[in-house]
Chains A and B, each alone.
Chain A
């Protein structure tokens, strides 16, 4: 009988039988499983209590971090989009820009009449 190390060999019942003969089998019936479970559970309860006492002050807040970070990010993006697309904000920003452009163009062209006219018009436009 040979064993291939690339995959599991077949079980060997004869070998298993003599191995069982060699030492005692786990006495599964002799164990009081309910008592064992209660014992583990009681010790775990103490450990849970100790974990709560040991927990750093920020740990309850940290539990909220996972949902809070993407929600905050989404809210920030939404706010940014709303501010960017606000009509009032766009009109206020566009007017001084237009006035500045006209003023610069007049200076560049050296046209004093247009420069004066543009400056006066801008003065009128200011609130």
Chain B
């Protein structure tokens, strides 16, 4: 993130601390889509993800006095989203990524291809299930959300080397299912 953007966000945070609702709305507009997307990846349901984003913004507002200057708001907020999504998944027993969506299952033109794709999805689902929760999240944030290793490290509060190692392990397992040769 460019320094000027971080500075601008810090000014917004200071205004929020001073009771400026407009500044808070600006942060909400900036981060609600990304927050929703991350929450959906972990929870798998739209309504739950929407509720979680709202709760995450309220939690951020409650904790805004503890936000340290000079740091970007995004990773701090996304960390709240991820932690709450993990907790929600544990407590609400929401369906996870092992389920096969109807839309994906309905795209095969022939019974043979459909069977092959179903088999691949089943094996990939098993492989995903064999990953740790952190590895699963890292793969999704990196490959699907486009976050960098450093950004994911900031979100998950782990060293960047740990993120890249987990990513490496997860990809190796998933690629093995896809039949790729590993170097």
Instruction: Enumerate chain A interface residues (CB-CB to B < 8 A).
Output: 1-9, 11-12, 14-16, 18-24, 26-28, 30-31, 33, 36-37, 39-41, 43-45, 47-48, 51-52, 63
Complex CA distance for A47 and B130, rounded to whole angstroms: 41
Q: Is the CB of B143 within 8 A of A11?
A: yes
Q: Which of A1, A22, A47, A63 contacts B175 (CB 8 A)?
A: A1
A3 and chain B: residue at smallest CB distance? B168
Instruction: Enumerate chain B interface residues (CB-CB to A < 8 A).
Output: 18-19, 21, 24-25, 28-29, 32-33, 36-37, 40-41, 44, 46, 49-50, 53-54, 57-58, 61-62, 97, 99-101, 103-104, 117, 120-121, 124-125, 128, 139-140, 142-144, 146, 148-150, 161, 164-165, 167-168, 171, 174-175, 178, 180, 182-183
Q: Is the CB of A23 within 8 A of B44?
A: yes
A1 CB contacts on chain B under 8 angstroms: 175, 180, 182-183
B151 and chain A: residue at smallest CB distance? A8
Given A3-B168, A9-B171, A26-B49, 11 other A-B residues pairs in contact with their CB atoms under 8 A:
A1-B180, A4-B164, A5-B164, A7-B164, A15-B139, A15-B174, A24-B101, A36-B53, A37-B28, A41-B21, A44-B25
Main secondary structure of the interface of A (DSSP, over half): helix
Q: Is the CB of A8 within 8 A of B148?
A: yes
